[in-house]
Each structure stands twice: as C-alpha cells, then as structure tokens.
C-alpha cells in the first residue's frame, strides 16, 4: 500500500491500516481513471466499461474510500488492460504499471500504433529511448509504404498468364 510500514516507523493500528488502504485504493482508482492512455474517463464511462455501478466507483474514489470488493477492482483493472489487481494495493506495482502506461502513451503521441510495449525493468523507458523507438518504427512504416507504392506502379513482367480454362 502507499503507506507501507518502513523500518523504524510505528506500526499502524488496524483502523489506521484500513483507512490508509482505502485511501490508497481511492487515489489509484482516481489516478488510472484520469491518466489512462485511452482516457481520461468519466465515472460513468469507466463504470460502463468495467460493468460496475458508477455509484460503486464514486464511493471507492471518495476521500474516505469504501469497502470496494476484489471483484470490482478486478473488473476495473481488466477493463483497462491491467493484468495485475495488485495495481490498486501495492505501491511498486502501481509505479511499474504507470511507467508502462506512460511508455505506451508516449508511443501513441509519436503516432506509433499497434505496438504493445512490455518491459521488465522497474522504471519506464527513458523519453529519449521512446523517441528513438518511435522514429525507428515510423521510418520502417514509411519505407514499407513507399516500397508498396513502388511495386504497385511497376508494370507486370513476363508473359501474361492465360485465364484458367476448365475442362468438361
């Protein structure tokens, strides 16, 4: 959770842990709804996409948070292409997934489509690397399009192929 106990920090009471957890889930729900590469989403849009009620999401995002179920979190995560429900519960997974989503957003800004970037490093690709990757992919696509256009303009070579005659 966003406020995991560190060495030397006092242990949270049960009620403090519950409140802290609800607040972390609320912040992460709000963050992904507002910052997802396909968003931002309204509560109603995300609720429809995830097949949950807008009221449930509103309560989960409220300042005090709500007792949101794992089922609801799983539905929201799945609807947004997030495979790890721990996104809402674990700070390191939250940071890792956000870095991956930022990388995808940067690629989309560079007009690179149809590319899915997954990485194993805990931090996202540096912006310079994303820019280089986007330029490389854009160049490949431009060259492929140019080659296709050139091939279409070439006259056919060799003798014409006669139409297939069927024997009776």
pLDDT of res. 163: 64
pLDDT single digits (tens) 112-147:
655 444 433 334 556 666 666 666 766 676 677 777
The model's pTM: 0.60
Instruction: Reply yes or no on whether the pLDDT at 49 is more than 70.
Output: yes
Query: Peptide bond before 83: cis, by omega within 30 degrees of 0?
Result: no
4 or 141: which leads in pLDDT: 141
pLDDT single digits (tens) 5-27:
555 667 889 989 888 889 999 99
pLDDT of res. 152: 73
Distance CA 113, CA 83 (A): 21
* Residues 6 or more apart in contact with residue 122 via CB below 8 angstroms: 92, 95, 96, 99
Residues 144-151, mean pLDDT to the nearest whole number = 73
SS3 70: helix
* 73, 25 contact by CB (below 8 A): yes
> Where residue 77 falls among pLDDT bands split at 50, 70, 90?
very high
pLDDT of res. 28: 94
């Amino acid at each position: 959770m966003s406020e995991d106990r560190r060495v030397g920090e006092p242990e949270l009471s049960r009620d403090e842990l519950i409140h802290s957890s609800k607040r972390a889930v609320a912040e992460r729900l709000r963050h992904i709804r507002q910052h997802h590469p396909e968003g931002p989403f309204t509560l109603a849009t995300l609720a429809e996409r995830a097949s949950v009620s807008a009221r449930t999401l509103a309560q989960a995002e409220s300042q005090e948070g709500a007792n949101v179920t794992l089922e609801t979190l799983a539905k929201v995560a799945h609807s947004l292409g997030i495979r790890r429900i721990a996104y809402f519960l674990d700070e390191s997974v939250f940071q890792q997934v956000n870095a991956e989503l930022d990388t995808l957003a940067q690629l989309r800004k560079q007009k690179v489509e149809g590319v899915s970037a997954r990485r194993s490093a805990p931090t996202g690709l540096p912006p310079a690397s994303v820019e280089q990757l986007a330029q490389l992919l854009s160049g490949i696509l431009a060259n492929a399009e140019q080659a296709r256009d050139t091939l279409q303009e070439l006259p056919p070579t060799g003798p014409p192929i006669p139409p297939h005659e069927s024997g009776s």
